[in-house]
Structure 1
Amino acid sequence: MPKILLNIKDKLTEEGRLVLTNSGYNNFNIRDIAKSCNIGIGTFYNYFSNKDALIIEIITNDWDKVIELSNSLIYKDIHIKDKLFLIYSDIDKFLSTYIDTFMMMTADGSKGCPHQYIFDQIYEALEKSINIAIEKGEIKPLINTKKLAKLIINSMTFAVKQKDISFDEIYYSIKM
């Protein structure tokens, strides 16, 4: 009789996250992850087509947490600068964790990374926060809120990757 396994996909994702963050992309081995989850390699392939599919699942789940934070801040009664700093910190944590993986996957020719629309939800959340800040009189942006949200997120992402531009420099250069 076959054994019934619960939450295998979640176990694979969590174990994969541990291996990826602790050992890196090059040491990410499906056999080791399956063994740690007490499943056979064939069972792994019931959930993921290859190692990159699992990695993309892990990265997507963690990016969703950045978006969740951005959405949770929309109606919080804190200054827009504080909201932006929290988003900046989360983006920094995310990219610090995964930048090497992105580079290795790109070098290996992975085609599964969904880069086109990954920022749309965070742009929308920040645009709502900006509109609330305008209503409260906290800021008076010189450009429309949709463009401003994109400019801020793109600037944060660039600054985090470069490590030579501080959050305060971004915030004050935007002149809101």
Structure 2
Amino acid sequence: MSRIIENPKQLILTRAKEILYNEGYEKFSMRTLSKKCDIALGTIYNYYPTKKELIIEMMTDYWKEHFYVLEDIVNSDDTLYIKLNEIFNKLSIFIKTFKEIWLKPEFYENPDYIKNSLEKENIYMEKLVNMIENILLKEVRNNKINLKLDSYETAKFILMNCITMVQMPIFKYSSFEMFLRELL
């Protein structure tokens, strides 16, 4: 008699994240995942036909989880600069977690994967830009900053600089904040 697994898709995602975070992409395999989940390899392939699809789903799931945290940051009573610093820190965790995967050439062999993952990434980036823009607009309404430039373009500028600082840490966030204070 086969055993019933409560929410097998979530179990697979949870264990896959654990392997990825603790052991890295190189040690990540569907067989290892099958053993960690204590389910048949075929069951995993029923939900995720390829490792790439599983990784894309993991990134998507990670974004969804973190948007709840980001919403709390946006809605908090903290200052603009504390909120932006917290967003930077959350974004840093995501980028550092998945950077190893993004740079793998085999992840980009199939144009469908590129299209699918980039479409999702663009949706999440747009949502993050909108969150930052909302923070800026709230600060303007409360007369805490004088926004001299378009709020949407300023939000994109902030986000792209945060991403760049994580990927190339030659420029510190504290220096960026100093520039922002002068700009705003």
TM score, norm. by length of structure 2: 0.87
Match of 1:92 in 2: 92
Q: Return the alpha-carbon distance in structure 1 between the equivalents of residues 85 and 173 of structure 2.
A: 7
State the structure with bigger RCO (CA 8 A, min sep 6), 1 or 2: 1
Query: Match of 1:116, SS?
Result: helix
The 10-residue stretch of structure 1 (63-72 or 2-11) with the greater mean CA deviation from structure 2: 63-72
| Displaced runs of 4 or more, over 4 A | 105-108
Checking the alignment, whether the CA contact within 8 Å between 2:20 and 2:28 is kept in structure 1 is yes
Counterpart in the other structure of 2:170: 164
Paired position in structure 1 for 2:25: 25
Structure 2: give runs of 5+ residues left out of the alignment. none
Greater helix share, 1 or 2? 2
SS, match of residue 91 in structure 1: helix
**How far 1:103 sits from its partner (Å)?**
0.6
Of 42-51 and 58-67, the range deviating more from structure 2: 58-67
Say which is worse superposed, 63-72 or 6-15, in terms of deviation: 63-72
Aligned residue pair count: 176
The separation in 2 between residues aligned to 1:14 and 1:32, in whole angstroms, is: 13
| CA 107–32 in structure 1, closer or farther in 2 if over 3 Å, else same | closer
Q: What is the RMSD of the two structures over their aligned residues, measured on CA atoms?
A: 1.8
| Rounded Cα–Cα distance in structure 1 between residues aligned with 2:74 and 2:32 | 41
Q: Measure how far apart 1:21 and its partner are.
A: 1.5
Query: Once the two structures are superposed, what CA deviation does each residue of 1:14-67 show, in whole Å capped at 9, x if it has no partner?
Result: 111111122222221101101221111111122112111111111122222333
1:78 is paired with a residue whose SS is coil
In structure 1, give the amino acid aligned to 2:18. L
Task: In structure 1, list runs of 5 or more residues that go unmatched.
Answer: none
